[in-house]
């Protein structure tokens, strides 16, 4: 609960055009002397006890709730306010859609998914949320609106630099992903119960041509403070035949590259061992 909240702003409610309302939102965020933050779905923010937040800017009405697929260009556009429930239902078009739908569905209950937004999940980048990990292996770009105009930033970079990128100020307006029907995607998780949040997870993407891996991506969750790409594992597979032995050898590298902390759901040792297992399972699905 935001106990010190003093102001609520919804620029689009004043009849402004979306672009003008977006400029108003950025101006509100840039004000000195009052900490102002964005309100999207509110799933994370409204549960916050941050006493420094004094004002929120509601992004509803800015046209950021659209999910579109440009089939000719192979581009998937996900507005920042698209809900997890909407993304979970959009699984019919491509293997990429199916991965994102599975990742969106594998978090929270139906009420939470109806409220939580894809943009919010991308910004928070919770370590055990399958959706940010899926975005990493898809080479997603996150779209930002700032006082100097729009820009696109690779999502992997955004996770590492999000505090600086959003402090400009900037607003996340959506995500853009180039689809590739030749790529196989997979998501593997382990949890205490089927409805519980994952303890450890692995997302993978694998493209194979003429018997050799031309592109490999692997991201892990539950082993670091944020989802983690594994470039050395990817490099170990690219250019090679993706045999069971090659995948097992590449996945085994995971153990030496992570140092997960333990908690009541799983020790650090358990998380390390499961990361290797799930990485191997996820990558193996790309062989078919």
Confidence at residue 129, expressed as pLDDT on a 0 to 100 scale: 97
CB 215 within 8 A of CB 207: yes
Domain spans in the chain, listed from the N-terminal domain onward: 7-58, 67-178, 183-287
CB-based contacts of 178: which residues, under 8 Å, 6+ apart?
74, 75, 76, 139
Confidence at residue 195, expressed as pLDDT on a 0 to 100 scale: 82
**Fold match between 67-178 and 183-287?**
no
Residue 206 backbone dihedrals phi, psi, to 5 degrees: -140, 130
Q: Which fold would CATH assign to domain 183-287?
A: Enolase-like; domain 1 (3.30.390)
- Flag whether the pTM goes above 0.85: yes
Tokens of 258: 């992570």
Strand order in the sheet with 75-79: 67-70, 75-79, 170-178, 141-146, 149-154
* Neighbour-count burial of 234, counting CB atoms closer than 10 A to its CB (0-12 exposed, 13-18 middle, 19+ buried): buried
Confidence at residue 71, expressed as pLDDT on a 0 to 100 scale: 85
Confidence at residue 288, expressed as pLDDT on a 0 to 100 scale: 61
Q: Which sign does the torsion angle of CA 139, 108, 225, 168 carry? A: positive
Q: Which residues pair with 177 in a beta bridge?
A: 76
The distance from CA 17 to its chain's CA centroid, rounded to whole angstroms, is 29
CB-based contacts of 253: which residues, under 8 Å, 6+ apart?
230, 232, 233, 236
Q: Which fold would CATH assign to domain 67-178?
A: 3.30.465
- Residues (pLDDT < 50) of the chain are none
Confidence at residue 53, expressed as pLDDT on a 0 to 100 scale: 93
Confidence at residue 194, expressed as pLDDT on a 0 to 100 scale: 82
């Amino acid at each position: 609960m935001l106990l010190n909240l003093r102001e609520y702003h919804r620029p689009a409610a004043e009849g402004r055009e979306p672009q003008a309302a977006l400029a108003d939102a950025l101006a509100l965020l840039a004000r000195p002397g009052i900490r102002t933050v964005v309100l999207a779905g509110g799933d994370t923010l409204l549960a916050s006890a941050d006493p420094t937040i004094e004002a929120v800017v509601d992004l509803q009405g800015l046209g950021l709730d659209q999910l579109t697929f440009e089939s000719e260009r192979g581009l998937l556009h996900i507005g920042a306010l698209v809900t997890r429930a909407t993304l979970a239902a959009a699984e019919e078009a491509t293997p990429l859609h199916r991965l994102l739908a599975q990742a969106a569905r594998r978090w929270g209950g139906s009420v939470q998914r109806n409220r939580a937004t894809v943009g919010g999940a991308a910004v928070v980048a919770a370590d055990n949320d399958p959706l940010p990990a899926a975005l990493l292996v898809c080479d997603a770009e996150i779209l930002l609106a700032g006082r100097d105009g729009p820009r696109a930033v690779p999502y992997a970079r955004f996770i590492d630099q999000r505090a600086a990128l959003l402090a400009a100020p900037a607003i996340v307006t959506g995500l853009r992903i180039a689809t590739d029907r030749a790529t196989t995607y997979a998501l593997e998780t382990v949890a205490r119960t089927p409805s519980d949040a994952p303890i450890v997870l692995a997302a993978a993407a694998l493209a194979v041509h003429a018997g050799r891996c031309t592109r490999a991506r692997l991201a892990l969750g539950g082993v670091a403070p944020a989802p983690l790409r594994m470039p050395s594992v990817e490099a170990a597979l690219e250019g090679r035949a993706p045999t069971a032995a090659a995948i097992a050898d590449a996945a085994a590298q995971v153990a030496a590259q992570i140092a997960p902390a333990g908690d009541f759901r799983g020790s650090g040792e358990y998380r390390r061992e499961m990361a290797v297992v799930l990485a191997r399972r996820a990558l193996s699905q790309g062989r078919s």
